[in-house]
Amino acid sequence: MSRKRYSVACLAGHGVGPELIAEASRAVDAASALHGFAVDEHHVPVGAEAMMRFGHPYPGSSRHAVLDAHAVLVAPGGDETLDSIEPDLDLRASVARVRFDGSELSVLAPLADDAWHWTVQRAFTLARSCRARVSLAGVDADWRADVAQVGLEHDGMDVELLSAADALQELVLTPQRFDVVVCPPELARTAAELAGCRAARRIAAWGRLAASGPGLFGAVHAAGHDGAGDGVADPTAMLLAAALMLGEGLGERSAARTLSQAIGRARGAQSSTRRAADDVLAELPHALDVEFLREAV
């Protein structure tokens, strides 16, 4: 029986982007092999590379490759053309994934007023695959009514309402209590930045979720593009972006949990990009998602 196959467009860009995409590709290949599906990656020229080769930062061939993909993985340096890419896509919500000291949470927000209901539905679906807890931060009465309606479709979920101030304070002080946070767009960036900010080890990734067609997924890198070509860039945020893409872009949430748990089990800072990624890949068999094992049996 043939395996399920997905297509992913990779935007490596410049700087450390190609190095980080290379390690993310290895992680995606390994996680997909463990979980019985395959990912075909297409490295799409954008930005400076595309300008040199085609005389345009986002040529037609790159556009077609993006639109034909199931998801798009974006490295630092590959995000400079997102303003050209995003209008082509059916993007409905932003998502931030933050991993810290063995815990993980997601922050979702609608990208437009008419995407609120879709975002809430997506948040409940995501929470059901995690710890079944949805926290609503700083939402108005109309949104709360919509949440109550969606909640009727999702029995057994733990739903809480928090003011914006209380939510932000607890994201700093007790972030491990959160699973999926839903908030207005003006609050999303601050909520994601504060989540786990006191942790000894913190990794973050971002995404733009689509109702149809590909979504966008990338890493949050505080160091920017420093160290390009030296092989010392930390790949863990890019690996977390790959895990976010597997789960929320391809719908392979068991593989996403396996990769994310492997990132948490790995030793952390290493002397090279390759060694740090090797540590994560070595942990994949030990981090294999328990629910996936049950389904396999």
Choose the final residue of a domain: 186, 207, 228: 207
- Amino acid of residue 228: A
Judgement on whether residues 220 and 84 belong to the same structural domain of the protein = yes
Number of domains in the chain: 2
CATH number at residue 202: 3.40.50
CATH number at residue 8: 3.40.718.10
The Cα–Cα gap between 197 and 213 comes to 33
Judgement on whether residues 108 and 199 belong to the same structural domain of the protein = yes
Q: Do the beta carbons of residue 9 and residue 72 sit within 8 Å?
A: yes
Judgement on whether residues 120 and 24 belong to the same structural domain of the protein = no
Per the DSSP assignment, residues forming a β-bridge with 201 are none
3-state DSSP assignment of residue 144: helix
Check pLDDT > 70 for residue 212. yes
Judgement on whether residues 115 and 59 belong to the same structural domain of the protein = no
pLDDT digits (tens, 9 = 90+) for 8-59: 999 998 888 999 999 999 999 999 999 999 999 999 998 888 888 999 989 9
Confidence grade of residue 224 (pLDDT, cut at 50, 70, 90): very low
Domain that holds residue 129: 98-207
pLDDT digits (tens, 9 = 90+) for 102-152: 899 999 999 998 999 899 999 999 999 899 999 999 988 777 777 777 777
Cβ neighbors of 217 (< 8 A, separation 6 or more) are: 71, 72, 73, 74, 205, 206, 207, 208, 241, 242, 244, 245, 248, 249
